[in-house]
Structures are given as C-alpha cells and as structure tokens.
Amino acid sequence: MKKHVVCFGDSNTHGYCAKTGGRFDESQRWTCLLQKKLGDQWLILEEGLSGRTTTFDDPIHEALSGLDYVYPCLMSHEPVDLLIIMLGTNDTKERFGASAECIALGLKRLISKAVSTTDCWKNGRPSILIVTPQNIDKRYETSEVGGTMGKGCAEKSQKLAEEYKKIADLTGCAYLDANQVVTAEPNNVDFMHLTEEGHRQLAEALSEIIPEILSCDTTL
C-alpha cells in the first residue's frame, strides 16, 4: 500500500487563487505538486476547506472547526502515515477574539484529538507535521477582505510561528515554518493567500522534509 499523507488545512491547502476567486489547478496546487515530487509510492490526500479553523466555531459559516472534522477525516483515509496540519490564518479573525497564544492552544487541542483517533494510524503510531502558514501581510486591511477579517490579523499571524513551535515541541510533532521556505510574497489582492510560486516553494520544501520524518519514524 502507498504511504497516505493527509493534508489538513484551509483555503491555502484547498488552493484558493485570490486573483481569479477560483482554485489553482492540479499543476499549481502545493498538494498536487507534492504528489508529483514524491512519486507513485505516496498518496497525497487533499483535505483543505476555505475558512477552516483549528477549533473555533464560526458564527457566520457552519462546519469550519477542524476539531469537529478531524476524526472522520482521518478515519476515512486510514491507514494514515502522516498528518500535515496547516491552520491558523482564519483563527486570527477579529470575531474569534483569540490571541496567538490561544490559537496555539486550539492547535494543541486539535493535535490531541488527532492522536486519540488511534484506529486511523498505520501500525498504531501517530505522526504529525505542524506547518505554520505564511504570515498575513498588514496590507490586507485595505483589501476587500479587511472588513470581514477585522483588525489585528497580521500581527497575530506573525506570532504564530513562535507559539506553534512550542506546541510542536510539547506534543512531539515535526515542525515547519512556511515563512522560512516560502520567499514569494502573498498575492496583492487580499495579501494572505499563497501565489502560484508560493505553492511551488512549499511543495519543494515538504517533498524534502516528509521522507525524512517518516524515515526517522517521528511519532508521538
């Protein structure tokens, strides 16, 4: 059986393209590029949902809490070799009233739920990679999404890397800060979604780190 890698994220995992309002195609999304780079012995499973949070219920849109969906997601893809979690951008929205520290605690709770889904893991050993998403550029405030995102999102997103690293160390998860590998700036429409080049750079970095994680049997 192929190695199953579940990519659990939000619109940047789904592949939202801010310039078109649609979705990057299979030659552009980081998940699909990762599949091509890793090859036929791997199965990269796209589980990106626009608006998804770590644990917060959105008062405007339903079913966006990652905590509520991670169990059926993992069980539907078992046996899972690796779970990649890249969330947090939506958690910074002003309507949630959460600091970077609180968002990180939400991530910790999500990790615990994933680990406790014992029947999904190949050989019963959970393996999780936490990816801090690319920071939101402060210029988002003047874009069309500025009003719905609210104030303070850029500042909170810039603190996530430090907080997420603490959680990764505490829970024994592998860790990657996308800001260290994605040098392409966010798009100039909403200033928070990956560009096509950003997708390419993220896929390149993950294609190198994922085999190392599994070869080292990074488990919780």
Closest CA to 171 of 125, 128, 118: 128
Contact 160, 133 (CB under 8 A): yes
d(CA 102, CA 83): 22
**Per-residue pLDDT at 47:** 98
Q: How many CB atoms lie within 10 A of CB 155?
A: 14
**Per-residue pLDDT at 173:** 98
> How many residues in the chain?
220
d(CA 153, CA 43): 34
d(CA 9, CA 124): 23
Q: Is this model's pTM higher than 0.95 or not? A: yes
The mean pLDDT values, 10 residues at a time, for the chain of 220 residues are 98 97 98 98 98 97 98 98 98 98 98 98 96 98 97 98 98 98 95 98 98 72
Contact 184, 166 (CB under 8 A): no
